[in-house]
């Protein structure tokens, strides 16, 4: 079966971030990912990873005001210097912690913004990020996010991710294939995985609707996991779902069944 990581930004949130590493290891995970790890010092994260024999697979470049409802950084004309500063904030974390992938969030099209200008800005910024992270042996990924959860998000389907990768034309720029977001946009996940697997740097998953654990919705994750295992994909699959009121440990039946 695929190799699974626990996304510590959504899982084990019953605990402070520093304590989630131990919880992930106790649950049986060998690796974790964190959307924005910057509340902890590099030394703190390194200590937790070493103590619990975990790999940190993925982090995000800081996204400015995106998570607070703003437009973000990467695809916003006029915010190029802020984006470069964000990349430089992520760089020492990625290098020191042995991160495999750093993800770039495109951001929202400003209400008065020109879409083509935004996409040109995103392409240039994605290329800059890829060049920067390549210098320390790290892959850069670009993620599509559905426009129901995040209206006006600039990149929200597979074709758009492919277009940015083609335009940026950088060997270490890949897709972050989030099954939940793409299913929300009506993508055929099995077909899309087969068509684009060589361009995928990281996979994430949650069920639909509700963004819950596999088995709580309509997506056939046993079949998807079998397909991923059959495809030429050597990366990790990140469990990035909302575990529900019963807590993370109670949501892990899908994981325990595959260990």
For 116-161, write each residue's pLDDT tens digit. 999 999 999 999 999 999 999 999 999 999 999 999 999 999 999 9
Mean pLDDT of the chain: 97
pLDDT at 258 over 90: no
The pair of three-digit structure tokens given for residue 170, joined into one six-digit string:
């950088």
Q: Which of 13, 31, 2 is nearest to 251 (CA)?
A: 13
8 A C-beta contact, residue 7 and residue 56? no
In this prediction, residues 83-93 reach a mean pLDDT of 98
The reported pLDDT for the residue numbered 11 is 98
Measure the CA dihedral 161/165/168/172, to 10°.
Answer: 130
pLDDT at 259 over 70: no
Which residue among 33, 48, 187, 240 is the active-site one?
A: 240
Active site residue 95: no
* CATH assignment of the domain containing 39: 3.20.20.150
The reported pLDDT for the residue numbered 202 is 98
Active site residue 143: yes
Q: What is the pTM of this model?
A: 0.96
For 211-250, write each residue's pLDDT tens digit. 999 999 999 999 999 999 999 999 999 999 999 999 999 9
Which residue among 143, 163, 166, 187 is the active-site one?
A: 143
Domain that holds residue 131: 3-256
Instruction: Please count the structural domains in the chain.
Output: 1
The reported pLDDT for the residue numbered 1 is 77
| Dist CA 18 CA 82 (whole Å) | 28
């Amino acid at each position: 079966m695929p190799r699974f990581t626990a996304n510590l930004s959504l899982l084990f949130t019953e605990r402070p971030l520093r304590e989630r590493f131990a919880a992930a290891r106790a649950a049986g995970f060998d690796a974790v990912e964190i959307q924005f790890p910057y509340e902890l010092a590099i030394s703190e994260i390194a200590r937790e990873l070493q103590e619990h024999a975990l790999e940190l697979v993925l982090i995000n470049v800081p996204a400015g005001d995106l998570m607070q409802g703003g437009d973000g950084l990467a695809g916003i004309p006029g915010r190029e210097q802020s984006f470069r500063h964000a990349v430089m904030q992520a760089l020492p974390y990625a290098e020191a912690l042995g991160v495999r992938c750093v993800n770039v969030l495109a951001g929202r099209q400003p209400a008065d913004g020109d879409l083509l200008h935004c996409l040109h800005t995103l392409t240039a910024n994605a290329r800059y990020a890829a060049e920067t992270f390549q210098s320390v042996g790290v892959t850069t990924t670009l993620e599509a996010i559905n426009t129901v959860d995040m209206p006006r998000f600039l990149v929200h389907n597979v074709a758009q991710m492919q277009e940015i990768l083609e335009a940026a034309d950088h060997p270490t720029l890949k897709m972050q294939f989030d099954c939940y977001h793409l299913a929300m946009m009506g993508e055929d996940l099995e077909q899309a995985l087969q068509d684009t697997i060589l361009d995928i740097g990281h996979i994430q998953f949650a069920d639909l609707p509700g963004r819950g654990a596999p088995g709580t919705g309509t997506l056939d994750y046993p079949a998807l996991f079998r397909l991923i295992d059959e495809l030429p994909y050597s990366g990790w699959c990140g469990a990035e779902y909302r575990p529900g009121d019963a807590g993370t440990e109670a949501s892990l039946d899908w994981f325990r069944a595959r260990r």
